[in-house]
Protein backbone atom coordinates (compact mmCIF):
# COMPACT_ATOMS: atom_id res chain seq x y z
CA UNK A 1 0.00 0.00 0.00
CA UNK A 2 1.22 3.48 -0.78
CA UNK A 3 2.26 5.53 2.22
CA UNK A 4 0.92 8.56 0.38
CA UNK A 5 -2.73 7.62 0.50
CA UNK A 6 -4.47 10.99 0.97
CA UNK A 7 -6.53 9.75 3.89
CA UNK A 8 -3.42 9.10 5.92
CA UNK A 9 -2.62 12.79 5.84
CA UNK A 10 -5.33 13.58 8.42
CA UNK A 11 -3.81 14.67 11.74
CA UNK A 12 -3.27 12.16 14.53
CA UNK A 13 -4.66 14.42 17.18
CA UNK A 14 -5.47 13.01 20.57
CA UNK A 15 -9.15 12.15 20.87
CA UNK A 16 -11.21 10.43 23.47
CA UNK A 17 -12.32 6.84 22.83
CA UNK A 18 -15.74 8.03 23.94
CA UNK A 19 -16.08 10.19 20.83
CA UNK A 20 -18.25 8.52 18.23
CA UNK A 21 -16.11 8.06 15.11
CA UNK A 22 -17.35 6.35 11.97
CA UNK A 23 -16.35 5.93 8.34
CA UNK A 24 -12.84 7.25 8.78
CA UNK A 25 -11.60 4.81 6.14
CA UNK A 26 -14.22 5.73 3.58
CA UNK A 27 -12.65 5.57 0.14
CA UNK A 28 -9.87 3.11 1.02
CA UNK A 29 -10.25 0.19 -1.41
CA UNK A 30 -10.99 -3.21 0.07
CA UNK A 31 -7.89 -4.66 -1.58
CA UNK A 32 -5.73 -2.02 0.13
CA UNK A 33 -7.24 -2.87 3.51
CA UNK A 34 -6.58 -6.56 2.94
CA UNK A 35 -2.99 -5.86 2.00
CA UNK A 36 -2.54 -3.57 5.00
CA UNK A 37 -3.81 -6.25 7.37
CA UNK A 38 -1.50 -8.85 5.89
CA UNK A 39 1.59 -6.68 5.90
CA UNK A 40 0.99 -4.51 8.96
CA UNK A 41 2.18 -1.53 6.98
CA UNK A 42 -0.97 0.33 7.87
CA UNK A 43 -3.29 0.24 10.84
CA UNK A 44 -6.83 1.47 11.35
CA UNK A 45 -7.14 3.54 14.49
CA UNK A 46 -10.28 4.84 16.12
CA UNK A 47 -8.37 7.46 18.11
CA UNK A 48 -5.27 8.28 20.11
CA UNK A 49 -5.24 9.20 23.80
CA UNK A 50 -2.25 10.76 25.49
CA UNK A 51 -1.73 10.89 29.21
CA UNK A 52 -3.88 7.89 30.18
CA UNK A 53 -3.25 6.56 33.67
CA UNK A 54 -5.73 3.68 33.50
CA UNK A 55 -4.45 1.54 30.64
CA UNK A 56 -1.34 -0.04 32.10
CA UNK A 57 1.46 1.18 34.37
CA UNK A 58 2.47 4.84 34.50
CA UNK A 59 1.29 7.37 31.98
CA UNK A 60 0.37 5.85 28.63
CA UNK A 61 -0.08 6.73 25.03
CA UNK A 62 -3.07 4.65 23.95
CA UNK A 63 -3.87 3.80 20.35
CA UNK A 64 -7.45 2.59 20.06
CA UNK A 65 -7.67 0.19 17.16
CA UNK A 66 -10.74 -0.41 15.04
CA UNK A 67 -12.21 -3.85 14.44
CA UNK A 68 -13.63 -6.41 16.86
CA UNK A 69 -15.31 -9.75 16.20
CA UNK A 70 -17.04 -9.79 19.56
CA UNK A 71 -20.36 -8.14 20.35
CA UNK A 72 -20.31 -7.66 24.09
CA UNK A 73 -23.67 -6.54 25.42
CA UNK A 74 -21.95 -3.89 27.53
CA UNK A 75 -19.40 -2.68 24.97
CA UNK A 76 -18.99 1.06 25.34
CA UNK A 77 -17.21 1.48 22.02
CA UNK A 78 -19.42 -0.25 19.41
CA UNK A 79 -18.09 2.18 16.80
CA UNK A 80 -14.79 0.28 17.04
CA UNK A 81 -16.42 -2.97 15.85
CA UNK A 82 -16.13 -2.04 12.20
CA UNK A 83 -12.58 -1.62 10.96
CA UNK A 84 -13.77 0.87 8.36
CA UNK A 85 -14.58 3.27 11.18
CA UNK A 86 -10.87 3.52 11.94
CA UNK A 87 -8.52 6.10 10.48
CA UNK A 88 -5.82 4.61 8.24
CA UNK A 89 -2.37 5.30 9.67
CA UNK A 90 0.87 4.03 8.18
CA UNK A 91 3.29 2.26 10.47
CA UNK A 92 5.80 5.01 9.70
CA UNK A 93 3.45 7.73 10.92
CA UNK A 94 2.46 5.79 14.00
CA UNK A 95 6.14 5.21 14.83
CA UNK A 96 6.93 8.86 14.25
CA UNK A 97 4.14 9.86 16.59
CA UNK A 98 5.45 7.47 19.21
CA UNK A 99 8.92 8.92 18.90
CA UNK A 100 7.59 12.35 19.90
CA UNK A 101 6.41 10.99 23.22
CA UNK A 102 9.20 8.57 24.04
CA UNK A 103 11.04 10.69 26.60
CA UNK A 104 7.89 11.71 28.42
CA UNK A 105 6.62 8.15 28.52
CA UNK A 106 9.87 6.92 30.02
CA UNK A 107 10.02 9.71 32.61
CA UNK A 108 6.46 8.92 33.68
CA UNK A 109 7.18 5.18 33.86
CA UNK A 110 4.58 4.64 31.17
CA UNK A 111 4.52 3.35 27.65
CA UNK A 112 2.39 2.45 24.68
CA UNK A 113 -0.88 0.57 25.02
CA UNK A 114 -2.84 -0.79 22.09
CA UNK A 115 -6.50 -1.12 22.94
CA UNK A 116 -9.68 -1.18 20.94
CA UNK A 117 -11.73 -2.67 19.52
CA UNK A 118 -9.58 -5.76 19.46
CA UNK A 119 -5.95 -4.94 18.62
CA UNK A 120 -5.13 -8.47 17.52
CA UNK A 121 -7.56 -8.07 14.60
CA UNK A 122 -4.60 -6.06 13.27
CA UNK A 123 -1.94 -8.38 14.60
CA UNK A 124 0.72 -7.56 11.96
CA UNK A 125 0.41 -3.84 12.60
CA UNK A 126 0.46 -4.42 16.34
CA UNK A 127 3.66 -6.49 16.14
CA UNK A 128 5.37 -3.87 13.98
CA UNK A 129 4.39 -1.02 16.27
CA UNK A 130 5.40 -2.89 19.42
CA UNK A 131 8.73 -3.80 17.83
CA UNK A 132 9.35 -0.13 17.02
CA UNK A 133 8.31 0.89 20.54
CA UNK A 134 10.62 -1.58 22.24
CA UNK A 135 13.47 -0.47 20.00
CA UNK A 136 12.94 3.03 21.44
CA UNK A 137 12.95 1.59 24.97
CA UNK A 138 9.20 2.13 25.39
CA UNK A 139 7.19 -0.29 27.53
CA UNK A 140 4.46 -2.03 25.52
CA UNK A 141 1.03 -3.30 26.55
CA UNK A 142 -1.93 -4.73 24.69
CA UNK A 143 -5.49 -4.79 25.93
CA UNK A 144 -7.13 -7.81 24.36
CA UNK A 145 -9.95 -10.30 24.72
CA UNK A 146 -7.35 -12.97 23.84
CA UNK A 147 -9.52 -14.63 21.21
CA UNK A 148 -6.90 -14.18 18.48
CA UNK A 149 -3.87 -14.78 20.66
CA UNK A 150 -2.83 -17.70 18.44
CA UNK A 151 -1.97 -15.22 15.73
CA UNK A 152 1.15 -14.24 17.67
CA UNK A 153 4.21 -16.46 17.64
CA UNK A 154 6.19 -16.92 20.84
CA UNK A 155 8.80 -14.58 19.47
CA UNK A 156 6.18 -11.94 18.73
CA UNK A 157 4.78 -12.25 22.22
CA UNK A 158 8.14 -11.02 23.47
CA UNK A 159 7.38 -7.67 21.85
CA UNK A 160 4.64 -7.21 24.42
CA UNK A 161 5.73 -6.42 27.97
CA UNK A 162 2.28 -6.62 29.52
CA UNK A 163 -1.02 -8.17 28.48
CA UNK A 164 -4.23 -6.63 29.81
CA UNK A 165 -6.50 -9.61 29.32
CA UNK A 166 -10.27 -9.25 29.51
CA UNK A 167 -12.16 -12.13 31.08
CA UNK A 168 -15.91 -11.64 30.95
CA UNK A 169 -17.40 -14.65 32.69
CA UNK A 170 -16.54 -18.26 33.46
CA UNK A 171 -19.68 -19.98 32.19
CA UNK A 172 -19.28 -20.95 28.49
CA UNK A 173 -22.97 -20.54 27.66
CA UNK A 174 -23.16 -17.20 29.38
CA UNK A 175 -20.00 -16.14 27.58
CA UNK A 176 -21.62 -16.81 24.22
CA UNK A 177 -24.65 -14.77 25.23
CA UNK A 178 -22.53 -11.95 26.57
CA UNK A 179 -19.99 -11.71 23.76
CA UNK A 180 -21.25 -13.80 20.84
CA UNK A 181 -18.08 -15.94 20.99
CA UNK A 182 -16.64 -18.96 22.80
CA UNK A 183 -14.52 -18.52 25.90
CA UNK A 184 -12.09 -21.33 25.04
CA UNK A 185 -9.51 -19.35 23.00
CA UNK A 186 -9.29 -16.66 25.71
CA UNK A 187 -8.56 -19.23 28.39
CA UNK A 188 -6.07 -21.02 26.13
CA UNK A 189 -4.28 -17.72 25.61
CA UNK A 190 -4.25 -17.07 29.36
CA UNK A 191 -2.65 -20.49 29.92
CA UNK A 192 -0.10 -19.87 27.19
CA UNK A 193 0.86 -16.52 28.73
CA UNK A 194 1.22 -18.24 32.07
CA UNK A 195 3.48 -20.93 30.60
CA UNK A 196 5.68 -18.15 29.19
CA UNK A 197 5.59 -16.23 32.50
CA UNK A 198 4.32 -13.14 30.74
CA UNK A 199 3.12 -10.27 32.91
CA UNK A 200 -0.67 -10.15 32.86
CA UNK A 201 -3.31 -7.91 34.37
CA UNK A 202 -6.83 -9.26 34.21
CA UNK A 203 -9.64 -6.85 33.44
CA UNK A 204 -13.12 -7.76 34.50
CA UNK A 205 -16.16 -5.60 33.78
CA UNK A 206 -18.66 -5.68 36.62
CA UNK A 207 -22.24 -5.30 35.39
CA UNK A 208 -24.98 -5.52 38.04
CA UNK A 209 -27.32 -8.41 37.32
CA UNK A 210 -25.17 -9.65 34.44
CA UNK A 211 -21.62 -10.41 35.64
CA UNK A 212 -22.01 -10.28 39.41
CA UNK A 213 -22.77 -13.91 40.10
CA UNK A 214 -20.76 -15.00 43.15
CA UNK A 215 -20.01 -18.52 41.92
CA UNK A 216 -18.99 -17.27 38.49
CA UNK A 217 -16.63 -14.71 40.00
CA UNK A 218 -15.17 -17.25 42.40
CA UNK A 219 -14.45 -19.61 39.49
CA UNK A 220 -12.72 -16.89 37.50
CA UNK A 221 -10.71 -15.94 40.58
CA UNK A 222 -9.64 -19.54 41.13
CA UNK A 223 -8.56 -19.93 37.51
CA UNK A 224 -6.62 -16.67 37.49
CA UNK A 225 -4.90 -17.39 40.79
CA UNK A 226 -3.81 -20.79 39.50
CA UNK A 227 -2.02 -19.23 36.54
CA UNK A 228 0.73 -17.73 38.68
CA UNK A 229 1.57 -14.82 36.36
CA UNK A 230 -1.33 -12.45 37.05
CA UNK A 231 -0.01 -9.34 38.74
CA UNK A 232 -3.35 -7.72 39.41
CA UNK A 233 -7.04 -7.82 38.67
CA UNK A 234 -8.85 -4.67 37.70
CA UNK A 235 -12.57 -4.68 38.39
CA UNK A 236 -14.00 -2.15 35.96
CA UNK A 237 -17.40 -0.80 36.92
CA UNK A 238 -19.90 -0.84 34.06
CA UNK A 239 -20.95 2.65 32.98
CA UNK A 240 -23.31 4.17 30.48
CA UNK A 241 -20.89 6.52 28.68
CA UNK A 242 -21.20 4.47 25.50
CA UNK A 243 -25.01 4.26 25.51
CA UNK A 244 -25.43 7.10 23.05
CA UNK A 245 -23.18 5.32 20.54
CA UNK A 246 -25.52 2.33 20.36
CA UNK A 247 -28.39 4.70 19.65
CA UNK A 248 -26.45 6.70 17.05
CA UNK A 249 -25.39 3.52 15.29
CA UNK A 250 -28.93 2.10 15.42
CA UNK A 251 -27.92 -1.05 17.32
CA UNK A 252 -30.31 -2.61 19.80
CA UNK A 253 -28.93 -1.89 23.28
CA UNK A 254 -30.07 -4.35 25.91
CA UNK A 255 -28.57 -2.65 28.97
CA UNK A 256 -30.51 0.60 28.72
CA UNK A 257 -31.76 0.51 32.30
CA UNK A 258 -28.75 -0.97 34.07
CA UNK A 259 -27.14 1.25 36.66
CA UNK A 260 -23.39 1.24 37.34
CA UNK A 261 -22.42 -0.96 40.31
CA UNK A 262 -22.27 0.60 43.74
CA UNK A 263 -18.90 0.95 45.44
CA UNK A 264 -19.99 -1.78 47.81
CA UNK A 265 -20.63 -4.22 44.96
CA UNK A 266 -17.28 -3.40 43.34
CA UNK A 267 -15.53 -3.89 46.67
CA UNK A 268 -17.34 -7.22 47.15
CA UNK A 269 -16.14 -8.37 43.73
CA UNK A 270 -12.57 -7.31 44.54
CA UNK A 271 -12.87 -9.26 47.77
CA UNK A 272 -13.63 -12.48 45.87
CA UNK A 273 -10.42 -12.07 43.87
CA UNK A 274 -8.42 -11.15 46.97
CA UNK A 275 -9.72 -14.28 48.68
CA UNK A 276 -7.65 -16.24 46.14
CA UNK A 277 -4.55 -14.22 47.02
CA UNK A 278 -4.81 -11.86 44.06
CA UNK A 279 -4.21 -8.15 44.09
CA UNK A 280 -7.50 -6.57 43.02
CA UNK A 281 -8.79 -3.05 42.75
Residues in contact with ligand SF4 by the rule CB under 6 A: 68, 70-72, 75, 77, 80, 116-118, 145, 179
Which strands form 111-115's sheet, in the order they lie side by side? Answer: 87-90, 42-52, 60-65, 111-115, 139-144, 162-166, 199-206, 230-237
Name the CA radius of gyration of the chain, rounded: 18
Smallest distance from ligand SF4 to CB 143, Å: 8
Smallest distance from ligand SF4 to CB 44, Å: 14
SS3 content of the chain, % helix, strand, coil (to 5): 40, 20, 40
Smallest distance from ligand SF4 to CB 278, Å: 22
By beta-carbon proximity to ligand SF4, the closer residue of 75 and 162 is: 75
By beta-carbon proximity to ligand SF4, the closer residue of 79 and 90 is: 79
Question: Largest Cα–Cα distance of the chain, in whole Å?
Answer: 54
Smallest distance from ligand SF4 to CB 185, Å: 12
By beta-carbon proximity to ligand SF4, the closer residue of 59 and 207 is: 207
Q: How many CB atoms lie within 10 A of CB 179?
A: 23
Smallest distance from ligand SF4 to CB 34, Å: 21
As beta bridge partners, residue 140 has: 112
By beta-carbon proximity to ligand SF4, the closer residue of 79 and 161 is: 79
Smallest distance from ligand SF4 to CB 74, Å: 7
Cβ atoms of residues 128 and 109 within 8 Å: no
By beta-carbon proximity to ligand SF4, the closer residue of 120 and 224 is: 120
Strands 139-144 and 111-115: parallel
How far is 237 from 209, CA to CA, in rounded Å?
13
Cβ atoms of residues 47 and 77 within 8 Å: no
Instruction: Write the DSSP symbol of residue 199.
Output: E
By beta-carbon proximity to ligand SF4, the closer residue of 47 and 80 is: 80
- Helix-helix angle 123-135:91-107, to 10 degrees: 40
Cβ atoms of residues 148 and 184 within 8 Å: no
By beta-carbon proximity to ligand SF4, the closer residue of 70 and 268 is: 70
By beta-carbon proximity to ligand SF4, the closer residue of 111 and 116 is: 116
Smallest distance from ligand SF4 to CB 106, Å: 29
How far is 74 from 174, CA to CA, in rounded Å?
13
Smallest distance from ligand SF4 to CB 205, Å: 7
Instruction: Write the DSSP symbol of residue 82.
Output: S
Amino acid sequence: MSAEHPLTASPLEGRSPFDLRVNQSRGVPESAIKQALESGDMGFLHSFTTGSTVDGPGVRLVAWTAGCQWRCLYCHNPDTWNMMNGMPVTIERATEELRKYRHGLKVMSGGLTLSGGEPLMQDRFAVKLFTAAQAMGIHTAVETNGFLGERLSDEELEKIDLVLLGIKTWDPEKHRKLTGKDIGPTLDFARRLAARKKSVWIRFVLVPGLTDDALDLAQIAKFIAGLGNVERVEVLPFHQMGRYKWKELGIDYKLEDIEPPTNALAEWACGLFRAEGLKAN
